[in-house]
Copies of this chain bind each other. A is one copy, B any other.
Amino acid sequence: MDENNIVVMKFGGTSVGTVEKINNVADRAIKANKEGKNVVITVSAMGDTTDDLIELSAKISEKPSRREMDMLLSTGEQVSSSLVAMAIIEKGSKAVSLTGYQVGILTDDTFSEAKILDVGKERILSEFSNGNIVIVAGFQGITEKGDITTLGRGGSDTTAVALAAALDAKYCEIFSDVDGVFTADPNVIPDARKINKLSYDEMLELASSGAKVLHLRAVEYAKNHGVIIHARSSFNNNEGTWIMDTEGFNDKMEQAVVSGVSYDTNQVKISVFGIPDEPGVAARLFSEFAAAHINVDMIVQNVSEKGKAAISLTIKNEDLDIAKKVIEKMKTTFSIESVQIDTDIAKVSIVGAGMKSHPGVASKMFSCLGENNINIEMISTSPIIISCVLRKDRVKEAVKLLHECFTLEKE
């Protein structure tokens, strides 16, 4: 077998949720192996396992020790890994499952959100030379001291990409229950089209603006290490979406002006009025937010005629309670006139690597929405994404309009 012919396949929780699906995963791995590939599989925990364990721990401790949570949750992936290995062996091929520790997935000690520092490849290569398909428990690692860590949301995607990088795999296949990345959410836009190829940057913008196929961290890791990702469905054999360096694209035409439309309803807008318009005040606001681990998404600042500033920003819904506390605290040191919180907003974004060289995309977007009486409340732009905040009850209409305006249903 060709030592360099390595592929990494990642299957999420729904793809290993039943015995039948586990057998399906085993079949895919065996097929690739019989085609001459050295196969590494990374799996998430089965179906609701992780949620069940979290629920159990919540009965014992309201705020359980993060180290112990990682000890607890990492068992979910260990279970699914061993079951996939059993299924492959039952079908007559050779397989071995490995925990994060056994592979040598070294992380820092930020329990529950650990970062990968290094990935060992010796054990996996030695299992390859014994003819084994290797199943690696996703989502987990080990600190230098030997404590078990987990990688946080989307951790199994990151495990897969990190393994692909360490092993110099041809590509990393991320299997899920959808066919790939679409020009828009197919639940909203029935004629949304599957995108064949995307650059890392486009995927990053899509992932951060609402598309849920791939996790941001995994795409970042792939970009930094040049890992080619193939996002595809575990329920059919259709080609999915390839995510790679744009240099890998054969023709420039592939760089669509607009690749897709995404939206995010999990946002809340906070407007702070009457901030003293002096240097450092806005910085203070955002540094307090950062200290409280609140990710601020969009920011708009205006200066009023009275020499006071108004800042509007958006954050995730789940961060609202902490954000309120931060603002209350700031009120005690700064004279802030008033604060408005608006939970009825949503964000719609258009993403496209070709955008940067095509002027007029933004104005086309604003016209498209304006002509249909959709009011834009905030705007943020970067070279390959334009995002608008609008009323939540109009966001799906906006997605539909933009998909039509930019004729995304056509290749």
Contacts and interface: CB of A to CB of B under 8 A. Distances in A.
Interface stretch (A70-78, A244-252, A322-330): A70-78
A225 interface: no
Contact of A61 (B79, B87, B147): B87
Interface in A41-91: 53, 56-57, 59-62, 64-65, 67-69, 71-72, 74-75, 78-79, 81-83, 85-87, 89-90
Interface stretch (A95-103, A311-319, A380-388): A95-103
B78 A71 contact: yes
A22 interface: yes
Contact of A60 (B22, B59, B75, B81): B22
Contacts of A147: 102
Contacts of A69: 82, 86
A258 to B, nearest CB: 46
A196 B69 CA distance: 40
Contacts of A72: 78-79, 82-83, 86
B101 A89 contact: no
B89 A65 contact: yes
A60 B146 contact: no
A265 interface: no
Interface string A178-198: 000000000000000000000
Nearest to A85: B68
A159 B401 CA distance: 65
A57 to B, nearest CB: 6
Q: Is the interface of A mostly helix, strand, loop or mixed?
A: helix
A233 interface: no
Nearest to A94: B65
Contacts of A96: 67-68
A405 B62 CA distance: 57
Contact of A123 (B57, B61, B71, B146): B146
A23 interface: yes
Given A75-B78, A78-B75, A81-B71, A86 B101 contact: no
A96 B65 CA distance: 9
A19 interface: yes
A68 B82 contact: yes
A71 B65 contact: no
A143 to B, nearest CB: 11
A147 B53 CA distance: 25
> Can you list the 9 inter-chain pairs with the closest CB atoms, starting with the nearest?
A75-B75, A71-B82, A61-B90, A72-B82, A68-B82, A19-B59, A64-B86, A61-B86, A68-B85
